[in-house]
Structure 1
C-alpha cells in the first residue's frame, strides 16, 4: 500500500493568506472592523494575517460564521499547512522510523 502524500504542485496555504488576499478585500471592511466583528483584538487578527499564529478551533468557528462557510475549511487549511511544515522539518527523523505491519492471523 502506497502511503506517500499526493503532491499537487502548490504548497499548503496558511489560512491567514486566504483571509489577507481574498476574503477581507471581498468583504470591503477594514481589518479593525473585521476584528471587532469576530470579537478578537486587532493584534490577534494581524497575527493570523501575517501567518504568525494558527487558526484555532475557536477562531475557525468565528471565521466560518463571519463569512458563512463554516469552520471546516479553516481547520483543513490550518491542518494541511501544519502537516506540510512538519513533514519538511521532520523528514529525516520520520524516514528513520520503520513501518511495522501486524502479523497475519490464521483463520
Structure 2
C-alpha cells in the first residue's frame, strides 16, 4: 500500500490514524537518505505500507526507488531493510546504475 503526500514528521497525518484503525502499525519514521528522507514504513497484516512525501514524485532517484524492490521481491520490508539502504546518505545522480533506466 502506498500513501502519496504523507508526512513522516506530522504526528497528526491522517494516514497514521487510519493505519492503526485498520490494524496496522508504523515501523519506521523517516529514511536515512536524501532525497526521500520523509518516507515512512508500516505494515498491515502481511502487507508493506509505505508513505512518501509528495516531492517523491518529482525526483529521479529517491528512497522510494531503493525500497520498492524489497517490497516487490519479498512482499514486505521492515525498518532494518530501510536502515540498511541508507548507508550512503545522499542519493546522487550517478546512482543510476542501481536503478532501471528512465525513458
TM range (shorter): under 0.3
In terms of Rg, which structure is larger?
1
TM-score (norm 2): 0.26
Hey, which of these two has a bigger chunk of helix by percent? 1
TM-score (norm 1): 0.25
